[in-house]
Amino acid sequence: MRAAGCALVLLLLLPGCTGPAGPSAPGSTERGIRRALDRRAAAVVGHDESGYLSVVDPRAKGLRTAQRAEFRNLAAVPLSSWQYRLEDVRQEGSTATARVELRYRITGYDSAPVASARTLKLVERGGHWYLDDDRADPGTGQQLWQQGRVRVARGKHSLVLGVGGSSGLLREVAAVADRAVPAVDEAWHRKWAGRVVVLVPSSLDAMGALLGSPAATYRGIAAVTTGEAGGAAAAPADRVIVNPEAYALLGSLGRQVVMTHETTHVATRAATSAATPLWLSEGFADWVAYRGSGSGPRETAPELQRAVRSGSLPATLPTDADFGFSDGADRLARAYEGGWLACRLIASHWGEQKLTDFYRAVGAHGQSGGAVEQAMNEVLRTDPDAFTARWRAYLREQLD
């Protein structure tokens, strides 16, 4: 489903902030909060626990305990930067609410920071501002270290961060990711970071918490990739997040297919935009994942094969709606299988280079209207109707 060493950066950007006047003038309040968050950021990168806790309200005993645990959970994560972008401050007397964006990078992997929107409560004591509460904004996921002590496994092309699982599991995931990266290199034909960060939470519920979504959304899904499509070097970093419960049920081929699929999303993220239909983005990721596996359509597309043999040959390529999680596993499986076979058709009939050229041409269009049509015409010298007819014939040939 849908990163280069970095210098230490401790920046705090301060756009226009508003709030009623309190004991401190607004400008003084903002400067005081900035100083507190600056100290907190420096303490994280400097592994300074006392400096980190010095920003927490001394009277908030429970928060201090939680913050100490969170700081120690974070200790093994190789951070090159940790910043707070202050978006808004609202002051009421000696208290203030600050909306911030936490931005951090992992050394050697993130060319741009991961961002998380947070709301902080602060209190002024003796002319200094202290943290009184720190919460993720609604719909924003937890950070892995908020779930427990983070363990790290390093591969040649991968960094695996996990909570709750065994070190053996993390090493195994790193080995699978290390095989995925060169497989993607061979198929994508375009420069990308060539490395991947994988998060392994302790459970399906913990995975949902990282993604800020109900855990049930991901039941049966072995992994997902987070990241912002259509970016360039400055786009937020990608993370592959593993569902340990579903991943454990897979054999060695299934695990490799899942990781290669997700790694493909990391590699193609900058060439993927709102114009890219899901049949192409998911189908291409599956094409890379199964490329060279020896698995043919009859083994890999069982749901679509049943549909074809029962006389229910799809009339159109899968729509984005077909990839929804709420309409049944069978429909979702047919959508993935149909997208994979569409990309397999392009690779076999027009060639692998044309497939990657077509992918990039669609994404470069920017807007969905006309993107596929134009790319088919310019790259494949065909049109959607003719392509769909050829795809339907291909399904009969491969699956009937």
**Claim to verify: residue 349 and residue 382 sit in the same structural domain:** yes
The CA distance from 45 to 396, in Å, is 58
The domain that holds 98 is classified in CATH as: 3.10.450.50
pLDDT of residue 24: 55
Look at residues 43, 3, 8 and name the one whose alpha carbon lies nearest to residue 235: 3
Look at residues 159, 145, 352 and name the one whose alpha carbon lies nearest to residue 263: 159
- The pTM for the full model equals 0.88
pLDDT of residue 189: 85
Q: What are the start-end ranges of the H helices in 10-59? A: 26-45, 49-53
Of 270, 304, 327, the residue that ends a domain is: 270
Is 2 within a domain? no
Is 3 within a domain? no
Cβ neighbourhood burial of 343 (10 Å; 0-12, 13-18, 19+): buried
Cβ neighbourhood burial of 56 (10 Å; 0-12, 13-18, 19+): buried
**Claim to verify: residue 336 and residue 376 sit in the same structural domain:** yes
Query: Alpha carbon 357 to chain centroid distance?
Result: 24
Of 226, 247, 270, the residue that ends a domain is: 270
pLDDT of residue 326: 65
User: Per residue of the chain (400 residues), what is the pLDDT tens digit?
Assistant: 543 333 323 233 333 333 333 455 557 899 999 999 999 999 999 999 999 999 999 999 999 999 999 999 999 999 999 999 999 999 999 999 999 999 999 999 998 888 999 999 999 999 999 999 999 898 888 999 999 999 999 999 999 999 998 999 999 999 999 999 999 999 998 899 999 999 999 999 999 999 988 998 888 899 999 875 554 444 557 899 999 999 999 999 999 999 999 999 999 999 999 999 999 999 999 999 999 898 889 999 999 999 999 999 999 999 999 998 766 788 999 999 999 999 999 999 999 999 999 999 999 987 878 999 999 999 999 999 999 999 999 999 999 8
pLDDT of residue 229: 59
Overall number of domains in the chain = 3
Look at residues 229, 222, 261, 270 and name the one whose alpha carbon lies nearest to residue 339: 261
**Claim to verify: residue 154 and residue 212 sit in the same structural domain:** yes
Domain residue limits at 162: 141-270
Is 80 within a domain? yes
The CA distance from 234 to 240, in Å, is 18
Look at residues 128, 146, 118, 137 and name the one whose alpha carbon lies nearest to residue 57: 128
**Claim to verify: residue 276 and residue 359 sit in the same structural domain:** yes
